Structure 1
Amino acid sequence: MRKKLAWQWTFFFAGLIVMSLGISMTIKGRIFGVSPWDVLHIGLFQQLGLTIGTWSILTGLFIIICSSLYLRQWPKFATWLNMMLVGLFIDFFNWLLPVSNVLAIEITYFVLGFFVLSIGCAFYISASVGAGPRDTIMMIIVEKFGGSVRMARTIMEVFAVSGGWLLGGPVGVGTIILALGSGQIIQMALPLFKKRLEQLVGEPVQP
């Protein structure tokens, strides 16, 4: 059991770090637009200050509170960690990665960030220790109104992009690419990470 938990939490933390790096890379290449939620985070940052990572934490906290009131239960510990650590890692990598106004470098940032973000997301999800705040509210939408997970995700992201755009967040073709393409990479990578984790722990890993 200890071995299993150790590997699960290793995958969880490593995945969050990789995903956050990818998010920061797409933010550095935001001439093409950023992911739907980051449009909102950057819009809030531009209008109200603080940092992009802080707004990621605050919007996650708001979602956790709303979902907890609806479900009448506290989320898992991993959900709180997800909320806090992703925001902190985003700010760290935003500080670490150099800014560039050279188009070729911005393209490189965006393309690499797209793949790194998606792979990191699949990495942490494969640990099966708890969903992120936005994933939780997405499942509530499916349960309440029916439809597919993809449709619920799309509805959430449309609201996030709309609010962020009104606040001046960067919307572009990259926003569409990230919204539609990252899920495809996650879907392909997730079984591979899941299989590798189960090989390491020697038994099936269930949520």
Structure 2
Amino acid sequence: MKDHLVLRWTFFVTGLAVLAFGVALTIKGQRYGVGSWDVLHVGLFNTFGLTIGMWSIIIGLIIIIISALVLRTLPKIGTIANMLLTGTFIDIFNALIPEVHTASIQLLYFVLGVIILGIGDAIYIAAGLGAGPRDSLMLIAVDKMKLSITVARTGMEFFVAVAGYLIGGPIGLGTVIMVFALGPVIQIAMKYSLLAFDYFASATAKKA
């Protein structure tokens, strides 16, 4: 049981680190735009300072508080860890990845970022330790407003992208591409992430 929990947390933290690396790559290639939430985070950073990762944490905290008030339940440990680790990892990778100004290299950063982000998302979801703050907000919209997941997700992404753009966030063709490309990447990566998790879980059980 303990080994299984360690495996879950290993997948969870690894997934968030991979996800954050992908986010940082898209930010470095922001000539083509970034994901909707990162439009907001980068816009807040451009306007008020701090760091992009810190704004990711702050927005995540606000969402967690709203979710807790609406649902009248305390947030899960996985949701809080998601908020803290993702923002921290984004800042670490943002500092480590070199700036580039060539359009072709920025495009490479962006494309790789979308793929890596999707893979990281799948790995952390495979751990089964709970949704992140933004996914929790989407689920509230589905439950309380009786919206479909597609409508709730698209509406939320549109709203935060516009809000981020109004305060200086980078919107581009890549922002639109991410809305449609990220889902399929996650879906493909999810299959292999679950297989990998089951493999390691079985191997761990045999050793016990």
TM-score by length of 2: 0.95
What is the CA-CA distance between 1:103 and the residue it aligns to? 1.2
Residue 126 of structure 2 is matched in structure 1 by 126
For residues 106-154 of structure 1, the C-alpha deviation after alignment (integer angstroms, 9 at most, x for no partner) is 1110011010001000110110011100011110111112232222111
Q: Distance in 2 between matches of 1:59 and 1:12?
A: 21
State the secondary structure of the residue aligned to 1:128.
coil
Residue 19 of structure 2 is matched in structure 1 by 19
Residue 139 of structure 1 is matched in structure 2 by 139
For residues 35-90 of structure 1, the C-alpha deviation after alignment (integer angstroms, 9 at most, x for no partner) is 00000001111111111111000000000000000011111111111101111111
Letter in 2 for 1:179: V
Asked if 1:34 is matched to 2:34, the reply is yes
Aligned pair count reads: 203
Letter in 1 for 2:48: L
Q: Distance in 2 between matches of 1:85 and 1:112?
A: 21
> Counterparts in 2 of 1:54-203, with a 5 A limit?
54-202=54-202
What is the CA-CA distance between 1:202 and the residue it aligns to? 2.7
The CA RMSD measured in Å over matched residues stands at: 1.1
Letter in 2 for 1:170: P
Unaligned runs of 5+ in 2: 204-208
TM-score by length of 1: 0.95
- Structure 1 residue runs of 4+, over 3 Å off? none
Unaligned runs of 5+ in 1: none
Q: Distance in 1 between matches of 2:195 and 2:119?
A: 15
What is the CA-CA distance between 1:96 and the residue it aligns to? 0.4
Q: Distance in 2 between matches of 1:147 and 1:164?
A: 24
Q: Distance in 1 between matches of 2:72 and 2:18?
A: 32
Residue 206 of structure 2 is matched in structure 1 by none
Q: Distance in 2 between matches of 1:56 and 1:31?
A: 20
State the secondary structure of the residue aligned to 1:199.
helix
Letter in 2 for 1:174: G
